[in-house]
Structure 1
Amino acid sequence: MRGERVIVSLLRRLGAIARHWVAAWVSVWLLLASLPGWAGQLDAAALQARLPAPLVLGERDAQLPVWPVFRPETTSRSLAGYVFESVDFAALPGFSGTPVDLLIVLDPQGRLVDVQVVSQHEPVFVDGLGPAPLLHFVEQYKGLSLRQSVRIGGPGPRGVQATSANVTFDGVAKATASVRIVNQSVLSAALQVARAKMGWAGGADPASLARVREDSWRPMDAAALQRAGLLSVLTVGAAEGEKAFAGSGVEQPVPPGAPPLAEVAVAWLSAPLVGRNLLSEAGWEHLKGRLDPGDQALLVVPLSGYSFVGEDFTRGAVPDRLNLHQGELSIELRDLDLDEPLKLPPGWNGRDAKVMRVIGAAGLDPGQPLDFGLRVVRTKGSGFVEKIARDFTLRYTLPEDQLIRPEPPQAPWVAAWKSRWVDLAVLAVALALLGGALLRPSVWVSRPHWLPRARVGFLLFTLGFIGWWAQGQLSIVNLTALIQALREGRGLGFFLLDPMTVALWAVVAVSLVLWGRGTFCGWLCPFGAFQELVSQLGQRLGIKPRRLRQVWDRRLKRLKYVVLAGIVGVAAVAPVHGAWVDRVVEFEPFKTAITLGFQRAWPAVVWAVGLLALSLFLYKGFCRYLCPLGAGLALLGRLRRWDWIARRMECGTPCQTCRHRCHYQAIAPEGTVDYAECFQCLDCVAIHDDPARCAPLIAQARQRVIPIRAVPAQRPGRAPA
């Protein structure tokens, strides 16, 4: 007896602590939300140890958290790229609420030399599937160009192909959302470094640039190219030029019929429809061999008047009189020094045609007009020569039929939702049926045999489809991820990468207001469904769950609040790089039994199987007494606005039928329903409306007065009517 009193006293104290601890921890992590965000974890020595040979680490950049890396050579070092950590540029929270940190090596052409995992806390890769599938996934980035689009899973050849605009990577089963977060982290961080250190597109996303068509070639001569707008003659008229020089002292009179001040022809020579028609086949192949992936070649031919190259121009150099802009982006033009004969119109032969190269990293967009800036310089004075310069803009636009416009940019989560539309549609139909039945439970309970059969069928759907197939198991991990994301000042967009989780949380948010926690815990939780099905199977085998005394049932139900407070507390104060949160959430068996289908290390499997076995002897024991998610939903269930379970005056005084039949022991002796512990099984609703089981209805039927009707007398010889 003394030991029992000690246990009772301890449970009473734990319950009192639990009632206040959650609110206290919420205050703590709100205060911690102002702490500094993530930063890279590796110093110079650790970075050098991780670099692939023979790369050598340079000095850290003064403005950005990146390090240049070099290739050692006999006489000098050549820049091989930059190394950095993804969290310094794209700290996207994973499903633990903490970002995956990746080491990225990017070469000057925008190719990924190496990608390594520095740290990760994704639940599915922490003692679940293990880190090996994630390491295999990031291996696929080696050799990928940032100009290529990555598609995860689906049809198409695997591996990085330099000639392909779209690359398909192998995904990871049961970790679709996590690898999408990793993909977004790699590409977002690498693009930011490419823009900052390599001048990529002046901040524009390379994926948003148009591409030149490669499949539109047909034989055309120079005249036909001119008519199609592919070979354009750009002119600065004489009058226009002299107007610009007016008042400078170097203006010149413009006689009638004066030739233009400058006239140049421009063509997009690297477009197959242009290059293959203006060059021989050998010349076209030579041109392609001189261009790196993503580079463009522009043909510029001076036709008359002022030349765009000066007298001291050297081949292979940047012309000092011609520049190129797109919007605010300045793009370098450099002579390609291509000695290939051109099929130019008659009269153009002998002109000093130049093929100008634009490197891919410059971010030239074929879909936008090219603004060539021509600088015209004049001199005046004899002793002291003064140079007067004026700039003129010549605009060239590649015809629309030679372009492939990119699809409008979409947020990463959009693709995830599109890929799951079938699963979401099935879930929506099931939720509509469930919601209709819960709003009008009389439909379920009107016939005694409907409810148990319908319930078993829906529980099988929850376990099989929502749980194992669609991976829609809500978890305390969702709460710890929310806490850690808020603590670090991160966005919550990572939740959108898991459509099933978002859809179910949306349903839970509505059901908490209507019915309390019971809708999820009683109908939509896969592990809860698993426990109930195991318990029903055990009862068929003759194993009857034990019903605890009311006082012990009430005290044990407080334990889940203690578990919740402990997990929330660890998530709020644990070091962001530590593994404490990863450890404490393992108290919950959902990942083992549902997400990974028991494909885990044996201690986790034993824990999950043990909790399922517990439900044979203690009906849904984990849900009722230990589940931290259930505790959180019970607290949020206080938002419920109405008592939806019908009660009679006789309920509890004297009728105890519903209380004794309630497996969850959620009905008090006085007949009131504890909605924080109600799992919405509808058994009490069925009893309430059943004249064969509801004691007040039975008593009412027995006390009913049956009126006596007089029978008319019968005539002799006649049978009764």
Structure 2
Amino acid sequence: MARTSVRRCATQLLPRLAALAALLLALPAAAGVLTQADLRAFFPDAIRIEAKEEALPVWPIVKLDGPTEKVMAYAFESIDLAPIPGFAGSPFNLLIAIDRDGHFIDLRVLSQHEPVFVDGLGVEPLLRFVEQYKGRRLQQPIRIAHGARRAGSDELDGITKATASVRILNESVLAAALQVARARLGFAPAGAAREAARVRDGVFEPLDWPVLVARGDVAHLAASNAEVERLFAGSAVEGADAAALARPDDAASELWLAYLNVPTVGRNLLGEARWRQLMARLEPGQHALLVASAGRLGFIGDDFVRGGVPERLALRQNGLPIELRDLDVDLAVAGAPAFAELAAFRVAAQAGFDPARPWQLALRVERQKGIVWPERVARELVVEQRLPERFFDIPESAETRAWKAVWQNRAADLAALGALFALLAAALFAQRRLVARPQRLAAFRWAVLAATLGFVGWHAQGQLSIVNLSGPLTALVQGRDLGFVLYDPVTLAVAGFTVLTLLVWGRGTFCGWLCPFGALQEFVGKAAQALRVPQWKVPARLDRALGRIKYALLVAILAAAAFAPALADRLVEAEPFKTAITLGFDRAGPALWYALATLALGAFAYKGYCRWICPLGAALAVLARTRRWQWLPRRAECGQPCQRCRHACAYNAIEESGAIRYADCFQCLDCVAIHDDRQRCVPLILMDRHGHPVPLHGRRVRREA
């Protein structure tokens, strides 16, 4: 008896020791093995392979996009992101490269310890298998063709006698690539770059099956024969289902979907004991889904293998496929209708599935036409699921933590910027008091311009640019989120204040007071005048014609941002802001000479760049049409025939009629100062001289708004 007991203990212990040894042997392989130099050999056509990132273990691959260098792809090792153990206890290690659209551009086997490929079939079938990934897109479902079936557009030709191993490989590829796609390619909604939500174990409500379905905690879809037939309308297999045509109103399929990790769902469906047993089978971070069906069209086909991947089901989140694997457990749901099929499936932790976000389960319905080489057509019935947030602890995303840290680090700059905004807004609201003394206006204006150039521009880097419009436009067209704007709090604050003031005063608040390059131009222009540099008097008609240049540039840049981003990157160089303000003239070549040339232009034609070339100014002028107030004071005599303010306006923003052309006004307040100055305003001078208003006689000119 003792010998039998020892033999029994040894029989139970040896497999466990073998598994432990395999896991220990696999530990050194739990990290990537390639270096930056190795990557250069794999991708010789790349201009540069960037260093491996710390936050996400990927190598950015830099290539030329026209004349511009851009990160065109990311390479990574699967073992760094999805070390899913194989049959030998150690994971595959694959070099994977995906481009910015999510296409697999390369996939190579770096190491593997699967017995079927080491001692059985050899490695050649495996190498041929991974070649099939190249050119496929991550968003499309990627399945392994089963048995004698031919691989289709969304299927890879499997390896006979190695079905389980290639499924583990496929799971590793998808799980690793999905993490990179979410974090670097924008294949996720705003804020998706966070840890997956965690289930609140203490949240439980005793509910029965009808209530769970009615509340949506168990998702449900019912499709009739007629509805399924409509899915195949216009295809080669339309009308091929005789049973559906004979009974169109009968149910073709009913699907139920439940996320079992949530106690309110899992415990109520399976019962306390069975639910806890199922949860004990899951490794940390894994998920269990219950799928049930009724009707003719089920999800368990003739080729379904217990413990395998269901061929007819596809789990997706954010448009990306996530692999399911059968848990091979017997289930029973109290109070539920009679199911034709019932199964539980596991989702690997490495897949990045987030149960607190919307997700979908698709049932693949396939028809075929022909016998020898049948034409197959597949359609899907999709169950949507979004569980209430009260079931989860939702962690703050790494992206949110990152931009919050940036805002905290810039708190002092933002406070100073807020004080500047408050001071400027108060002065503009009390403009009549500000301009009461010319010396006060001049001192205030030059102080603000100095703060704008030195603090807002060179120190805080708050120069608005046309890139602040073209960049978000490109992101929206490409389906990416705009979270990147949160990483530049100073620019965002300046942009917010500018938008608000557009509604009140028009474009002049930014262009005349808060644009660092505009302030620099103004200093250059005034210095040139003090040095008696000849000033060009541009005729009004030519001034109007030159002013159209900035609108043409604006249209060209925004069109390129939407349809040709690489061209937009070159066109935005029409702005000298990056050279003069962002880089403080620390730039060589044509960009530096161009910036100096625009400043030189301002020495001869006051703020010539701002008036004629600036595409950002054009955009603000267009947006300023939302302005609701004529806030600059005018008299009946202005322009009829008094032209005093018009001749004094350095920006040619006053019509001959006396009306202010707000699209070209830089809000310098010089005309307001003249309007209230009894020494310069002609109507006021005449009134003081004669003791009453004196009508001015002259040619009447049509007023323009």
Query: Which of the pair has more CA radius of gyration?
Result: 1
- TM-score band, normalised by the shorter chain? 0.3 to 0.5
| TM-score under structure 1 length normalisation | 0.46
Higher relative contact order (CA 8 A, sep 6+): 1
